[in-house]
Structure 1
Amino acid sequence: MAASYYGPPTALGLFLYDQDGYYSLPVDMRERLKAFVPEPESVQLSTSETLPESIDENRLTVRHTERDAMVDLSVLLRLMDQGKIQVSEKTSLPGAATLRLLTESLAGGDFYAHKPPQDQWDQESGPIKAFSWPLLLQAAGLVQRNGSKLALSAAGRKALASSPASVLSAIWNKWLKSSLFDEFSRVDVIKGQKSKGRVMTPLAPRRTAITEMLRLCPIGAWINVDDISRFMQATGRTFDVTHDPWKLYVIDPQYGALGHNGYHGWNILQLRYLLCFLFEYAAALGIVDVAYIEATGARADFCRIWGTDDLAFLSRYDGLIYFRVTPLGAYCLGLNDDYTAAPIQPNAKLSVLPSLQINVVGGNLSAEELLTLGTWAVEATDKSWRLDRQKAVEAVERGHDIDDLRVFLKSREDQPLPETVESFMKIIQQQGRALKISGTRLLIDCQNAEIATLIARHKELAGLCQLVGNRQLIVRLENEGKFRALIHTLGFGMPA
């Protein structure tokens, strides 16, 4: 027995053979071995209460996603309402400008910081949350596309005033049934996914298999992604990604075709889909918390495939190591009937002064406590913060509740909050919602006053536009398509 790619040989290799990347026991040996080999214990899903600080000397980043998802939802809905989100008219995917805007706007930023490629061969993880959110909102019907811009639908406007948890649950369940986008296409190293014929499998069975697996996971317990991958295979909870692996390839459709022996195993196709499902969609919606390292060098299981010598990773999700189902996830998965956001556990004692200054007088602020304070206050020193009116107003604009700050401070301060601080929060609560965006509108310049008046008085157009001055019209953004179609019947055009 010669040494293989996987390491030195063992005696077990005498009983197994490699078939399409899986090790199998010959059929004629199985019955003989059953006679004297004890039946194995039932497969158990391993969980962990704590996480290591690093994986193979790579720092493990932990992201708690529940609160981020609720803030991100509010931010996305308001950006949509302001007409700031654009997608491709052909693919419905966000472009570079939208991805930059969302990366800057999302709570805590995206999972990976932007690192410009050093050369043409350098791989970049790129946006993950920023990419999935516009797709999720489209799949859920909360937005509609007007040309390349996304605008809130009637359901989206209703969502602005609804419970974030209920909206996130609705988005999740509608996305599971959507065929808007095949998330495996984000594993863009693997080519040929849009070849002629039946190449990729339907989305619903894949998503259903993983969702049913998530329902079996203990809430709040960390699970290694490789463990759940093995558990799914061992218990028959499997799915297919492609009908024909020969149509898929890396670099070259002949030499790098995934139909070759060992090129299309579960770890190459199904595991990468599982990683994408969890990291880009479940984590974005707060269904699971995630713990991850850089994708570069995280997994070397693809190195046997022809043409992968220069690849740092097979997918941008290769760095995902652990996940855990959150209480919000349990609610969205239908495991719990209701959801109440858990308070942030106090890790430090605070002293809140009448001057609006907040001092840390005991312990150290956790990362989540730092994030909360940073939402409402500016940092003076590593032990001192000051409530800031502009930051607080911006927080209320983004959908934060000032009562969360009140609860946060009271749970860490032994004395009643000063009257000046209570007054500050009351004012912010009022002024942060002093103005309301009732919708986004187009301001249209007509060639002359006669055209503007003709359109404004037309029996079908009168309800879609409003005359401003002599030759300007205002049209709600969501009515642009209908307005444009009707002016065409009058013989007028409006270039984009």
Structure 2
Amino acid sequence: MSDLHDAISLETVDTLKKNYSTFFGVKPKQIRKAWLVKELFEGLSDRSFLRAYLKKLPDLELTFVRECVFNYHGLVDRSRFKAKYGKFPEKPSRYSFVSYHELAECFEPFFYPFDRYGPAHIPGELIFTLKQLVNEPEPYILSPCTLPEPLPEHNVLFERERSVMSELHSLLVLFQGKQVKVSEKTGAPSSATLKKVSKEIHEYYQEPCDQADGMEFIATYGWLRLLGNSKYSKQSKSTLVPARKIDKSSADTIKDMWDQWVCNSTHDEFRRINKIKGQNGKGKRFFTDVRERRHVIIESLKECKGKSWVSFDDFSRYMFITGACLEVTTEPEYLYIYGSDYGEFYSGSWDKLEARYLRCFLVEYAATLGLIDVVMAPPNSDDSYYDDYGDMECLSRYDGLRYFRLTSLGEYALGLTGHYKSQESSPSKTPMSIHRQGRIVFDKNPTSWEQRFLSLYADQGKGNVWNLSRKKIMEALQVGGSVDELQTFLQDREDQPFLPEDCESILKQTKANLDGVKIQSEALVISCKNQEIVELIINDKVLSKWCQRLGNLQIVLPKSKEKQLRENLNAMGIGCH
């Protein structure tokens, strides 16, 4: 049986009579349902008659048919069509106070319910026929834009790709020093940790704001979540520490961290929009798989032309119009602001849910890893959020995203290129002179990037003076830093063709001594009651293989030999507790 015939059969006689008059242009000769169904089915199956009917439709109405057939799966998608074309072909209400308008009458012969209570749609058989008669709509293209010059007031450009490598090294040094404390249960960083780590990060905002709590720690929080989720760290009680030595390039490390985050199902970025309540109540079960959401966004990001700026509003609109399957929750009515007694707050519209999630994902995670550069403004600077229930001026700390561009690192991390060619570390190279003992003097104030990079390997003195530090160089090398990278940085800014001999010596020695000591196992230190017991242990035929003196009355031995130690002491008549 034809699905078109079945769908027509579900309609009432009154509706079928109206559809007959609209489609054939005359009143039906009979009002029996079987006759009406048969006539409409035959008329809608007749390509020549259908082609003539379509030719009579105005341009906007014909465009709507094309969109329904090719892009909307036969359904009516009023919001997407209006977003793309600016208006919608509808039948105006006779009453000015009625805001809802019905679909124009010329479409009614095409639309029938899935079942007696289902939404109206164009049946599959009719879709197939219509595709032979109308052209596919032009694809909606995401167009790049040019940044305003100068940028509007309070808008700031952040070139995240230029900062991410030095930030990664700085954070790994903190991990190495066991200075990063997090919640033992949730892994979330404490306020003290956020303040400490933020000193190593280029943040978007320097001052807190009551309207956007936590806005001064956006990149810091993102880094800690991304690193904490990666294979390069592990949690030891309430401390994050390195899990393995990094033997990859910084770009490959970033790519690994990104891939691991995308596949992580524990943390949902939408939870970071904490002014939206109801996420942990009944509504929790209706949230969609966060991994699927991320992949949908990534597929749209791949459509961005590398190194070309895109307005966030245009990108969000592009995803909406092209039907990106980005859905935060299937039941948005469980979400609210202030208190649940205010009633339903969320209608589930794209701007209220998906666009909010999209901002958080791009700013706190993609931009943090340098996959995109961003232009940020204060979150409450453009009235992008209007609060119906109170005086809230913005909904989240991420509302300030205005523009972004996909970087070379982003193209590599997303798999658009097979290798990463780094941009020049700094757009300008501040001249310097290098003196004995690794003393560096810049001719003028170095750029912020140069300061950030050099701080990984040197201590800053007064003014524009820096001193190479063996300690910092070694710390940086242990978390993926490079002596060659440092040497290139210095030589590019020094007029002399060679570095001073003692400076060369510092670099060669630290590089040679990188693996100078290897920690193999833990040791056990025991304290003896008197010198006589020390001599018995040291001279014992078995224990002497492992034991060494440590001071007058102490002995050190491998921790793995504790059991043999106790057994031999017991045999010697010496107690151990």
- Provide the TM-score with structure 1 as the length reference: 0.71
1:112 Cα deviation from its structure 2 partner: 2.0
Separation in structure 1 between the aligned mates of residue 559 and residue 216 of structure 2, nearest angstrom:
37
1:105 Cα deviation from its structure 2 partner: 2.7
- Residue 288 of structure 1 is aligned with which of 358, 372, 378? 372
List aligned pairs for 1:33-72, cutoff 5 A.
Answer: 41-55=138-152, 57-58=153-154, 60-72=155-167
Q: Which amino acid aligns with 1:178?
A: N
1:128 Cα deviation from its structure 2 partner: 1.3
Q: Which residue of 2 aligns with 1:99?
A: 194
Q: Which residue of 2 aligns with 1:322?
A: 403
- Contact 2:371 2:410 (C-alpha < 8 Å) held by counterparts: yes
- Cα distance 1:30–1:394, how it changes in 2: closer, same or farther (>3 A)? farther
Q: Which residue of 2 aligns with 1:300?
A: 383
Deviations 1:280-318 (A, max 9, x none): 0111111111111122x23424314323x1x23201011
Structure 1 unaligned regions, length at least 5: 1-10, 450-465, 477-496
- Cα distance 1:404–1:141, how it changes in 2: closer, same or farther (>3 A)? closer
Q: Say yes or no: does 1:148 pair with 2:238.
A: yes
- Contact 1:299 1:318 (C-alpha < 8 Å) held by counterparts: no
Q: Which residue of 2 aligns with 1:313?
A: 394
- Cα distance 1:103–1:347, how it changes in 2: closer, same or farther (>3 A)? closer
Q: Which residue of 1 aligns with 2:178?
A: 83
Separation in structure 2 between the aligned mates of residue 112 and residue 101 of structure 1, nearest angstrom:
16
Separation in structure 2 between the aligned mates of residue 473 and residue 320 of structure 1, nearest angstrom:
59
Separation in structure 2 between the aligned mates of residue 230 and residue 24 of structure 1, nearest angstrom:
23
- Contact 2:293 2:328 (C-alpha < 8 Å) held by counterparts: yes
1:410 Cα deviation from its structure 2 partner: 4.7
Separation in structure 1 between the aligned mates of residue 91 and residue 446 of structure 2, nearest angstrom:
54
Q: Which residue of 2 aligns with 1:427?
A: 506
- Cα distance 1:349–1:105, how it changes in 2: closer, same or farther (>3 A)? closer
Structure 2 unaligned regions, length at least 5: 1-85, 94-98, 111-134, 530-547, 561-577
Aligned-pair Cα RMSD in Å: 4.3
Q: Compare relative contact order (CA 8 Å, sep 6+) and give the higher one, 1 or 2.
A: 1
1:237 Cα deviation from its structure 2 partner: 1.3
List aligned pairs for 1:216-227, cutoff 5 A.
Answer: 216-227=303-314
- Residue 281 of structure 2 is aligned with which of 182, 195, 213? 195
- Cα distance 1:232–1:380, how it changes in 2: closer, same or farther (>3 A)? same
- Contact 1:380 1:386 (C-alpha < 8 Å) held by counterparts: yes
> Which secondary structure state, in structure 2, belongs to the residue aligned with residue 323 of structure 1?
strand
| Alignment coverage as a number of residue pairs | 419
> Which secondary structure state, in structure 2, belongs to the residue aligned with residue 54 of structure 1?
coil
- Residue 267 of structure 2 is aligned with which of 181, 190, 193? 181
Q: Say yes or no: does 1:28 pair with 2:104.
A: yes
Separation in structure 2 between the aligned mates of residue 249 and residue 441 of structure 1, nearest angstrom:
55
Deviations 1:199-245 (A, max 9, x none): 32210121011011111111111111111000001111131111211
- Contact 2:431 2:443 (C-alpha < 8 Å) held by counterparts: yes
> Which secondary structure state, in structure 2, belongs to the residue aligned with residue 194 of structure 1?
coil
- Cα distance 1:266–1:203, how it changes in 2: closer, same or farther (>3 A)? same
- Contact 1:16 1:24 (C-alpha < 8 Å) held by counterparts: no
- Cα distance 1:226–1:238, how it changes in 2: closer, same or farther (>3 A)? farther
Q: Identity percentage over the alignment?
A: 29
- Cα distance 1:398–1:294, how it changes in 2: closer, same or farther (>3 A)? farther
Q: Say yes or no: does 1:238 pair with 2:325.
A: yes
Q: Which amino acid aligns with 2:334?
A: K
> Which secondary structure state, in structure 2, belongs to the residue aligned with residue 157 of structure 1?
coil
- Provide the TM-score with structure 2 as the length reference: 0.62
> Which secondary structure state, in structure 1, belongs to the residue aligned with residue 345 of structure 2?
coil
Q: Which residue of 2 aligns with 1:137?
A: 227
List aligned pairs for 1:438-477, cutoff 5 A.
Answer: none
- Contact 1:114 1:126 (C-alpha < 8 Å) held by counterparts: yes
Q: Which amino acid aligns with 1:115?
A: P
- Contact 2:91 2:105 (C-alpha < 8 Å) held by counterparts: no
- Contact 2:166 2:453 (C-alpha < 8 Å) held by counterparts: no
Q: Which residue of 1 aligns with 2:254?
A: 168
1:359 Cα deviation from its structure 2 partner: 5.5
1:254 Cα deviation from its structure 2 partner: 3.0
- Residue 204 of structure 2 is aligned with which of 89, 107, 111? 111
- Cα distance 1:341–1:28, how it changes in 2: closer, same or farther (>3 A)? same
- Contact 1:396 1:402 (C-alpha < 8 Å) held by counterparts: no
Q: Which amino acid aligns with 1:407?
A: T
- Contact 2:275 2:396 (C-alpha < 8 Å) held by counterparts: yes
- Cα distance 1:358–1:40, how it changes in 2: closer, same or farther (>3 A)? farther
Q: Say yes or no: does 1:394 pair with 2:394.
A: no
1:319 Cα deviation from its structure 2 partner: 0.8
Structure with max Cα Rg = 2
Separation in structure 1 between the aligned mates of residue 520 and residue 220 of structure 2, nearest angstrom:
22
- Contact 1:86 1:98 (C-alpha < 8 Å) held by counterparts: yes
